[in-house]
Amino acid sequence: MAVSTTSNPAHRFDAETAERYGWINRALPPEELDGFVETLARRIAALRPEQITAAKAAVGAAATSGSLPAGLGEESRALGGVYPAPDAAVERTRAAVAAGAQTREGELDREASLDRVA
């Protein structure tokens, strides 16, 4: 999806509106941005190369699938191939959902939500 941001105030969206539309999952004040990016980069760097490759493939497949269900299926297939213990991944997902990972609060603090059930 493309969103045009122009200098015309009628075409601008504030962070709350963009989140409500599902365009972003968080907005940070400028003073928090560097720390957030550094933490995210460290998390990504700690992944196995095949996990990063699968994540990239999942995003690409989901973006070109044409529909949300098809995109989610493509994402699942791409990511499902990199976990050596599918049962453990299923159990971790169940635990994360039970712990509130799919609530608004869990979505806003996704990394911490998942770390609590690791």
Residue 34, pLDDT > 90, answer yes
Please state, in angstroms and as integers, the Cα–Cα distance from residue 33 to each residue in 23, 40, 114, following that order. Answer: 18, 11, 21
Can you say whether the dihedral through the CA atoms of 95, 97, 99, 105 is positive or negative?
positive
What average pLDDT score do residues 77-97 get? 76
Can you say whether the dihedral through the CA atoms of 63, 69, 72, 74 is positive or negative?
negative
**C-beta separation of 11 from 4 below 8 A:** yes
Residue 2, pLDDT > 80, answer no
